[in-house]
Amino acid sequence: MNYTPEMEKAMQTSHQMGYAEYCRKLENRMKVEKRRQEDYNKSKQIVAEIDSQLFK
């Protein structure tokens, strides 16, 4: 995969590390992926709450 400057900027902004640092250590990858999973779960919960309020 080609890593673009936009992807690098997003990685720096979101996770305070560059792609090279992300790839270098498994610990860094695990932290980033855990944070992504938590954000995904929160988003799913918010959508479910909104859906339940819309269809009352």
2-49 pLDDT, tens digit per residue, is 889 999 999 999 999 999 899 999 999 999 999 999 999 999 999 999
Are 31 and 21 in contact, with CB atoms under 8 Å apart?
Answer: no
Residue 54: the pLDDT is 84
Residue 44: the pLDDT is 97
Round to whole Å and give the CA distance between 46 and 56.
Answer: 16
Residue 56: the pLDDT is 67
Cβ atoms within 10 Å, residue 29: 13
Round to whole Å and give the CA distance between 3 and 22.
Answer: 12
